[in-house]
């Protein structure tokens, strides 16, 4: 007998829902505050729409039978090929914005297929490794999964978007590690990664990528050029104090000294206007969110569900650490958005779909004999 829908709603992970609601609301408040010449309000309006659609998708996928991804290889392959086609199509159909081709323009809105592809790769790797967990001692499985990674990562590198390439690598490597690879294979990958980093520095990285890394290691290096963004981010954070300067009262944010205050540096913008206490609560919400995702991975009834949960955990953790690390000067600036807070509909919708699938995994652990198909 099917359990009533109300019982399933009660069994949703409400700590996750409340955490993302707070994070999203804080991001919206910061975007509304950045109302310079109508631009900030435009970001706020668009993000509010994305929030509404994303929240609906989260509940939709919570009661959707996520096992279709585990049981249907053709569907997963279709999603993967769709992501590749969208990434390749960028070079033909997407406009160039500040030297980068990353977004399709659809009227007043933009769509970034990179965020969608992150979710698809998590599904793909969860399925691939869950089917081969007893054969992970065979190195060719690592090589084949690396090929699945290389194709979209290379297309994203050509945009160029080095930050997203790193997130792709973290997702692949994270799922690979928890899948149970052999120790010697782990050290082979570490050695190969080290050699690749040397190769990338000499032949793959753009000059501005190298300048960002150099300015991070040596802050006095061109502080008014390459290091300007990170310098302004630190000033904004430091000037906010415990309680912040107040809504719409942060000079670094309001007068445009803090670049990309709606995306890459929204963490510093929030710190300037709302203070350290708000940032502390923000970090607590992220910790709660990540903890609950790990909890879902421990109660999952299948290897696919466990690896998918851990893949989403790595995705979120990598973007949180990279974004906040670059804001406070612990990491170089590579253009990674802060999940649920930074402006960006593609990332927000992809994250809400991922959270919805996680909720479905949790429901299935409570109602394993029921079909968690959508009731409405």
Q: pLDDT digit string (tens) for 279-294?
A: 999 999 999 999 999 9
Residue that the structure tokens 């990353």 belong to:
102
Q: Is the pLDDT of residue 207 over 50?
A: yes
Dist CA 163 CA 220 (whole Å): 23
CB-based contact 346:113 (threshold 8 Å)? yes
Under a CB-based contact definition with an 8 Å cutoff, are residues 342 and 316 in contact?
no
Between CA 338 and CA 330 the distance in angstroms is: 15
Q: Of residues 37 and 331, which shows the higher confidence score?
A: 331
Angle at 32 between CA 27 and CA 36, to 5 degrees: 125
List of residues 6+ apart from 324 with CB closer than 8 A: 267, 338
**Main-chain phi, psi angles of 343, to 5 degrees:** -65, 140
Give me the pLDDT at residue 253, please.
86
Q: Tell me how far apart the alpha carbons of residues 77 and 223 are, in angstroms, rounded to a whole number.
A: 47
Pick the residue with more confidence: 80 or 369? 80
> Beta-carbon neighbour count of residue 7 at 10 Å?
12
How much is the average pLDDT of 221-229? 59
Instruction: Note the pLDDT of residue 375.
Output: 33
Kindly tell me the sign of the dihedral angle through the C-alpha atoms of 126, 130, 132, 134: positive
The predicted-structure confidence for 37-52, as pLDDT tens digits, reads as follows 445 558 888 999 999 9
Average pLDDT over all residues of the chain? 84
| Predicted pLDDT at 37 | 44
What one-character DSSP code corresponds to residue 202? I
Q: Exposed, middle or buried by CB within 10 Å (0-12, 13-18, 19+), for 267?
A: buried
Q: What is the pLDDT of residues 73-83, one digit of tens each?
A: 899 999 999 99
Q: Would the pLDDT of 19 be above 90?
A: yes
Q: Where are the alpha helices (DSSP H) in 218-371?
A: 228-240, 251-254, 266-299, 303-328, 345-366
Question: What is the Cβ-side half-sphere exposure of residue 144, based on CA atoms within 13 angstroms?
Answer: 10
Does residue 311 surpass a pLDDT of 70?
Answer: yes
CA atoms within 13 A on the CB side of 327: 28
273 or 217, which is more confident? Answer: 273
Q: Show the CA angle centred on residue 64, arms to residues 119 and 312, nearest 5°.
A: 25
In whole angstroms, give the CA distance from residue 123 to residue 357.
10
Q: What is residue 133's predicted lDDT score, i.e. its pLDDT?
A: 67
pLDDT band at 7 (very low <50, low <70, confident <90, very high): confident
Backbone angles phi, psi at 104, to 5 degrees: -85, 135
Q: Which residues pair with 105 in a beta bridge?
A: 110
Q: Output the six-digit token pair for 351.
A: 């994250």
pLDDT at 98: 67
Q: Please say whether the beta carbons of 295 and 289 come within 8 A.
A: no
For the beta carbon of residue 153, count every other beta carbon within 10 angstroms.
22
Report residue 335's pLDDT band, with 50, 70 and 90 as the boundaries: confident
Q: Report the percentage of the chain scoring pLDDT > 70.
A: 84
């Amino acid at each position: 007998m099917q359990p009533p829908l109300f019982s399933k709603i009660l069994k949703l992970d409400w700590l996750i829902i409340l955490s993302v609601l707070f994070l999203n609301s804080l991001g919206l408040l910061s975007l509304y505050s950045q109302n310079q010449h109508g631009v900030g309000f435009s970001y706020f309006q668009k993000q509010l729409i994305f929030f509404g659609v994303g929240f609906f998708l989260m509940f939709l996928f919570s009661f959707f039978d996520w096992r279709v991804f585990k049981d249907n290889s053709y569907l997963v392959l279709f999603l993967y090929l769709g992501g590749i086609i969208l990434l390749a199509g960028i070079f033909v159909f997407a406009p160039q914005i500040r030297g980068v081709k990353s977004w399709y323009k659809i009227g007043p809105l933009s769509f970034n297929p990179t965020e969608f592809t992150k979710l698809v790769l998590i599904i793909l790797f969860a399925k691939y490794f869950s089917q081969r967990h007893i054969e992970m001692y065979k190195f060719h499985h690592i090589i084949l999964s690396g090929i699945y990674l290389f194709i979209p990562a290379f297309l994203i590198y050509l945009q160029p978007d080095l930050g997203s390439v790193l997130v792709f690598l973290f997702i692949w490597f994270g799922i690979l590690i928890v899948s149970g690879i052999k120790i010697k294979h782990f050290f082979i990958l570490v050695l190969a990664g080290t050699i690749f980093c040397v190769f990338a520095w000499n032949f793959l990285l753009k000059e501005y990528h190298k300048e960002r890394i150099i300015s991070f290691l040596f802050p006095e290096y061109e502080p008014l050029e390459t290091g300007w963004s990170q310098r302004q981010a630190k000033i904004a954070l430091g000037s906010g104090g415990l309680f912040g300067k107040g809504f719409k009262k942060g000079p670094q944010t309001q007068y445009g000294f803090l670049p990309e205050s709606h995306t890459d540096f929204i963490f510093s913008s929030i710190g300037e206007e709302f203070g350290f206490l708000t940032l502390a609560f923000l970090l607590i919400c992220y910790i709660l969110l990540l903890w609950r995702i790990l909890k879902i991975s421990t109660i999952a009834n299948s290897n696919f569900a466990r690896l998918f949960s851990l893949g989403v955990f790595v995705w979120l953790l990598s973007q949180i650490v990279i974004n906040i690390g670059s804001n406070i000067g612990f990491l170089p600036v590579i253009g990674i958005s802060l999940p649920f807070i930074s402006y960006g509909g593609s990332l927000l919708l992809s994250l809400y779909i991922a959270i919805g699938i996680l909720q479905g995994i949790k429901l299935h652990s409570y109602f394993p004999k029921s079909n968690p198909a959508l009731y409405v």
